[in-house]
Structure 1
Amino acid sequence: MARGTRTNLATLAGVVGDNSPVDRPIDRVAPTNVPLSELAPNPRNPRDDLGDLKDLVSITRTQLQPALVVTRAAYLGLYPEDETTIGLARWVVINGCRRLAAAHNFGRPNLDIVVKDEIATDRETLLAAAVIENVGRRDFDVIEEAKAVELLIKECGTVEKASLKLSKSKGWISQRRSLLNLAPALQTALRNGELAVRTARSLAQVPPEAQVQAWAAEQEQREHQKPDPGPTPEPENRKLARTPVTAAKVTRTFRRMEADPVTLADALVDYLDADGLQALIQALTERH
Structure 2
Amino acid sequence: MARGKRTDLASLVHSTGANSPVDGKNSAHAPSDKPANPPGWTDALLSPAPLTSAPLADLVANPRNPREGDLNLEDLESIAELQLQPALVVSRDAYLRLWPEDEPELGAAKLVVINGCRRLAAAQKYGCEKLELVVKDEVAASRAALRTAAIRENVERENLDVIEEARAVEALVADCGTAAAAAVALGKTEAWVSQRRALLKLAPQLQQKLRAGELAIRVARNLAQVPVAEQVARWQASLAKPEGEKAERKQPAPIGVDQLTRSLKKWDVGTDTLAPALLAHLDRPGVHALIAELRQLVS
TM-score, normalized by length of structure 1? 0.68
Q: Structure 1 201/25 Cα, relative in aligned 2: closer, same or farther at 3 Å?
A: same
Q: Structure 1 226/89 Cα, relative in aligned 2: closer, same or farther at 3 Å?
A: farther
1:154 and 2:174 aligned? yes
Would the aligned equivalents of 2:44 and 2:139 in 1 still touch at CA under 8 Å?
no
Q: Deviations over 1:33-75 (max 9, x none)?
A: 2110011111111222353111111111111100000111211
**Equivalent residue number for residue 76 of structure 2:** 56
What residue ranges of structure 2 are gaps of 5+ in the alignment? 1-17, 20-42, 243-247, 252-290
**Amino acid in structure 2 at the alignment position of 1:145:** E
Structure 1 residue runs of 4 or more that deviate by more than 6 Å after TM superposition: none
Deviation at 1:28, TM superposition (A): 3.3
Query: Matched residues in 1 for 2:44 and 2:75: separation?
Result: 21
Query: Matched residues in 2 for 1:165 and 1:225: separation?
Result: 47
**Amino acid in structure 2 at the alignment position of 1:31:** L
Q: Structure 1 161/26 Cα, relative in aligned 2: closer, same or farther at 3 Å?
A: closer
Q: Structure 1 204/254 Cα, relative in aligned 2: closer, same or farther at 3 Å?
A: closer
Residue correspondences, number: 215
1:121 and 2:141 aligned? yes
Would the aligned equivalents of 1:50 and 1:98 in 2 still touch at CA under 8 Å?
no
**Amino acid in structure 2 at the alignment position of 1:218:** S
**Equivalent residue number for residue 184 of structure 1:** 204
Query: Matched residues in 1 for 2:236 and 2:101: separation?
Result: 46
**Amino acid in structure 2 at the alignment position of 1:99:** R
Candidates 76, 82, 103, aligned match of 2:96: 76
Q: Aligned runs of 1:104-253 on 2, under 5 Å?
A: 104-221=124-241
**Amino acid in structure 2 at the alignment position of 1:203:** L
Which range is displaced more, 195-204 or 152-161? Answer: 152-161
What residue ranges of structure 1 are gaps of 5+ in the alignment? 1-17, 228-249, 259-288
Q: Deviations over 1:256-279 (max 9, x none)?
A: 747xxxxxxxxxxxxxxxxxxxxx
Q: Deviations over 1:15-34 (max 9, x none)?
A: xxx98xxx993673331121
SS in 2 for 1:193: coil
1:31 and 2:51 aligned? yes
TM-score, normalized by length of structure 2? 0.66
Which range is displaced more, 194-203 or 158-167? Answer: 158-167
Deviation at 1:176, TM superposition (A): 0.4
Query: Matched residues in 1 for 2:250 and 2:219: separation?
Result: 18
Q: Structure 1 165/26 Cα, relative in aligned 2: closer, same or farther at 3 Å?
A: closer
Which range is displaced more, 53-62 or 180-189? Answer: 53-62
Percent of aligned positions that are identical: 52
Query: Matched residues in 1 for 2:199 and 2:296: separation?
Result: 42
Would the aligned equivalents of 2:45 and 2:149 in 1 still touch at CA under 8 Å?
no
Query: Matched residues in 2 for 1:29 and 1:225: separation?
Result: 62
Structure with greater helix percent: 1
Would the aligned equivalents of 1:75 and 1:92 in 2 still touch at CA under 8 Å?
yes
Candidates 91, 96, 106, aligned match of 2:116: 96
Query: Matched residues in 2 for 1:109 and 1:98: separation?
Result: 15
Query: Matched residues in 2 for 1:139 and 1:155: separation?
Result: 22
Would the aligned equivalents of 1:74 and 1:120 in 2 still touch at CA under 8 Å?
yes
**Amino acid in structure 2 at the alignment position of 1:123:** R
Deviation at 1:155, TM superposition (A): 1.3
Superposition CA RMSD, Å: 2.8
